[in-house]
Amino acid sequence: MIQTFAFYMFAIIVIASAVMVITARNPVHSVLWLILAFFNAAGLMVLVGAEFIAMLLVIVYVGAVAVLFLFVVMMLDIDVAAMRAGFIKNFPLGIVVALVLLAELVLGIGAYNVGAIELGTPAAADAPAMAESNTAAIGALLYTRYIFLFEAAGIVLLVAMIGAIVLTHRPSKSKRGQQDIGKQVRRRPDEATVMKQPEVGKGIEL
């Protein structure tokens, strides 16, 4: 009963907040609703026993990706009226995208109803027995059977990261604004200050 209750609570909040993402007028509110949806999706994953994935979802998506996302949206100066004006122009394109998504949904549900598709995943009965915790189980699979895919994904991410750095990095030509931290730390009071006792009515030369 507790699980059923928790499932319906998480599921309703996920769907409701997903609807709010697209209906909220303020883009910042949209992002906050999206974060709520992520968080409750993590709750659903805990319910099916995938606690490791649930925690990763919160750490990576809610804790890092959505924060940056929220920031970009907060800094943007979004004019809602201008967006409304573009609505009519982009309407046909939107219809096309919606139709494609609808077709995919129909195909997917149809294929599911026909049943018995060979997806390469073991059937429930053949699935390997879960180890004591699913952290250990995921690790055991990821570092043995799927090691090549895992490392390939790592390389792809590394390349993307270096690409982003190369695109945004601009080496400064002038020396201004460059700091030598070692020099700053080494500095002592006696080399930074001088004691002078100027006479009355006279300035000092530094």
Partner 1 sequence: MTEFFQSLGMSYEWAWGVATLAGILLIALPLMLAVAMIIYVDRKVWAAINLRRGPNVVGPFGLLQSFADGLKVFLQETVIPSAANKGIFILAPIVTFTVALAAWAVIPFSAEAVLADINVGLLYILAISSLSVYGIIMAGWASNSKYPFFSAMRASAQMISYEVSIGFILVCVVLFAGTFNLNDIVRAQEGFGLGFINAYVVHPLLFPMWVLFFISSLAETQRVPFDLTEAESELVAGYQTEYSSMSFALFWLGEYANILLMCMLNAILFFGGWLPPIDWEPLYMVPGIVWILLKTFFFFFMFSWVMATVPRYRYDQLMRLGWKVFLPISLLFVVVISGYLMATGHFGAAA
Stretch of 29-37, 84-92, 101-109, 146-154 contacting partner 1, by CB under 8 A: 29-37
How many whole angstroms separate alpha carbon 134 and alpha carbon 3?
19
The answer to whether 72 contacts partner 1 (rule: CB under 8 A) is no
Q: Which of 70, 137, 138, 141 binds partner 1 (CB under 8 A)?
A: 70
Cβ 136 to partner 1 shortest distance, Å = 6
The answer to whether 7 contacts partner 1 (rule: CB under 8 A) is no
Cβ 71 to partner 1 shortest distance, Å = 6
List the structure tokens of 156.
Answer: 């792809």
Of the pair 18, 50, the CB lying nearest partner 1 is at 50
Q: Within positions 129 to 148, which residues make up the interface with partner 1, using CB under 8 A?
A: 133-136
Which residue, among 59, 76, 55, 56, has the nearest Cα to 67 in the 3D structure?
59
Stretch of 67-75, 141-149, 158-166, 168-176 contacting partner 1, by CB under 8 A: 67-75
- 78 by DSSP, 3-state: which? coil
How many residues touch partner 1 (CB under 8 A)? 28
Residue holding tokens 């997917």?
108
- 106 by DSSP, 3-state: which? helix
Residue holding tokens 């974060």?
35
The answer to whether 10 and 47 have CB atoms below 8 angstroms apart is: yes
- Cβ atoms < 10 Å from Cβ of 134: 14
| Amino acid making up residue 21 | V
Cβ 153 to partner 1 shortest distance, Å = 19
Stretch of 13-21, 69-77, 142-150, 197-205 contacting partner 1, by CB under 8 A: 69-77
Report the chain's C-alpha Rg in angstroms.
29
DSSP state of 199: P
Give the binding site for partner 1 (CB under 8 A).
1-2, 26, 28-29, 32, 35, 42, 51-52, 55-56, 58-59, 62-64, 67-68, 70-71, 74, 133-136, 179, 181
